Homo-oligomer: A and B are copies of this chain.
Amino acid sequence: MTPAQQQLVDTILERFGPKTVTTDPHAIEPWESDWRGRYHGRAPALLSPGSTEEVAAIVRLAGELGVRIVPQGGNTGMVGGATPPEDGSALLLSTRRMNHIRSVDTVGNLAVVEAGVILANFHDAMAEQGRRFPLTLGAKGSATIGGLVSTNAGGTQVLRFGNMRHLVAGVEAVLPDGSIHEGLVPLKKDNRGYDLTQLLIGAEGTIGIVTAATLRLYPAIVERAAAWVGVADPEDALRILRLMEARTATIESFEIIPGEILGHVLHHIPGTRSPLAGEHAWHVLIESVATEPGAEPPAALLERLLVPVFEAGLAEDAVISTSEAQVEAFWHIRDSISEAERALGPAMQHDISVPVDKMPRFMLAAAAEAERRFPGTRATAFGHLGDGNVHFHVRAPQGADRDAWYAGDGPAVSRLVYDMVVAEGGSISAEHGIGQMKRAELERLSPPSRIAALKAIKSALDPRGILNPGKLVALAPDADTP
C-alpha cells in the first residue's frame, strides 16, 4: 500500500468506521477478479461506503491524495470493467452496502433505488407492489443497479422497453471532484445544458460513481405466452417480427437460434426437448405478455398473429405454449445455449450489433467469411434479432489446442468479426461495454476524432484520472494503463 493509500484508508476508518473499509486479503480477494476469471487485479483495500455522502467524502479525499478508485457493483461484467489494475495502484470501492430502495411511487410508476440493490431483489420488491421493472438478464441474482446504469445494460426485454438508458428517469452520482450530481428528480422535460445524467449512463464509472437511480416501473405481467417457430432463414424471421410489430405492441422478446445450436442444447443439457417435431434451419422464440386483466390472452394473440405469418409462407412450423411451465421450458433452451457451447471447446464470443434490417444478411455472410478465412472454425450467431444484436461465436477447429488458439487465431478471428461489424456501421460492443477487454479494439476501429472526444471528456471531468483507471479510454500510457 502506498503512503497515500494508507492515509486514505486510515482517514476512512477513523471517519466512517470498520464497516466502510477492509484491508483483509481474504475479504478482498473474491472481488479482485472478474466472475469469468479472465481478468485478475490487486487492490490493497476494499472500501464499502454506506451512503452517497460517504462515497463523496471518499472520492474527494482520494482526489486530494491522488489515490485511484475502481467502482464495483455485483462484479458481473463481461469486459473486465470492474477489475482493479494488477499493480495495486487502485482501491476497490464497492457499492453493495448501499442497498436500499429509497422510495416507490406506484402512481407515477417510479422508484428511487440505491446503486447496490441487486436486480433480482428489486424485481421481487416491485412484484410485491404489483409493478414490474422490465430489464432482466442472466446475472440478475448478482448484478446491481449501479452497475446496470453504468454499463447501460441490455438483456432480453430491450425490444419492447429499450435498454437501461430508457428505463432511467434520473441519476445520482459522485463526480471525480467529490461533488454530488443530484439528478434523481424525475423531470419529463428539462433542457438545462449538457445532459450529465445521459453522459453518466454507460460511462463505466470513469467519470462518476452512480450512487442511486430513479427507475421507471411498468404494470406487472398478468399472463405471458411464447411461440416457438421454425423458419428457413434469418430474413424470414425478421419478416415475421415486422409483420407482428405492425399488429401489436406486446411482443417482448424475439430471439433467433440456429438449428445446429438447438441440437447442441438438446444433446448437452439434461431435460431439454425440441419444441417442434421436425428439423429446421433456424428457430425463433417469441414472447408476448398481457398486463391488464381482461386483455386478449397472449396465447390467443400469438395464434392470431401467426395466421398471416403462415399465409405469407414465412414459417415452416410453430407451437404456442399452453402453460407457464412451457414458456419456462422454451426459455430454458434459450438460456442454456452458453452452457451447451462451453461443452464444444474454445470459442471467441462477440457481443455485436448492426442495424436490425442488416442483421439477417450479416449473420449469414459474416459466419461464412469467418469460416472461410479460418478453416475448420464454426461460426454461429444467436440472440436478440429484434434488437439487431446477436452473440456471434466462432468455435476453434476440432482438436485445436486451447491456449494456443486463444493466443493466436482467436484474437485474429475477433479482429475479423469486428472489422465486418464496423463495415456495416455496427457496434463492437452492443451490451457489455468496453472495460479493459475492448479498449484496444475501440481505439483501432474508431475515427481518431472520436477517441479524441472521449479522452477530452474523460480528462475534463476527471483530470487527475482518479476513477476507474485504464477502462474505456486511456489518457496516457503511463498515467492509467494498468
Binding site for B on A (CB under 8 A): 105, 107-108, 151-152, 154, 158, 163, 165, 175, 177, 179-182, 185-196, 198-199, 201-204, 207, 242, 247, 249, 292, 353-357, 384, 387-389, 425-434, 442, 446-447, 449-450, 452-454, 456-461, 472-473
Contact = CB atoms under 8 A, between A and B. Distances in A.
Nearest to A448: B179
Contacts of A425: 185, 187
Given A175-B449, A199-B195, A202-B194, A457 B454 contact: no
A430 B193 contact: no
A427 to B, nearest CB: 4
Contact of A152 (B163, B180, B191, B356): B191
A193 B198 CA distance: 12
Residue of A193, A195, A426 with most chain B CB atoms under a 10 A cut-off: A193
Given A179-B449, A185-B355, A203 B192 contact: no
Given A449-B175, A457-B460, A460-B456, A194 B203 contact: yes
Contacts of A449: 175, 177, 179-181
A193 B472 contact: yes
B186 A355 contact: yes
A429 B202 contact: no
- Give the 3 A-B residue pairs with the shortest CB-CB distance, closest first: A179-B449, A460-B460, A185-B425
A276 to B, nearest CB: 27
Contact of A430 (B180, B190, B384, B472): B190
A432 B191 contact: yes
Residue of A152, A203, A353, A456 with most chain B CB atoms under a 10 A cut-off: A456
A196 B151 contact: no
A294 to B, nearest CB: 10
A433 B105 CA distance: 29
A104 B449 CA distance: 29
B195 A429 contact: no
A223 to B, nearest CB: 18
7 contacts: A152-B191, A175-B453, A179-B449, A190-B353, A199-B199, A249-B249, A457-B460
A163 B189 CA distance: 7
Contacts of A442: 192-193
A202 B442 CA distance: 26
A195 B198 contact: yes
Contact of A201 (B163, B195, B384): B195
Contacts of A457: 194, 199, 457, 460-461
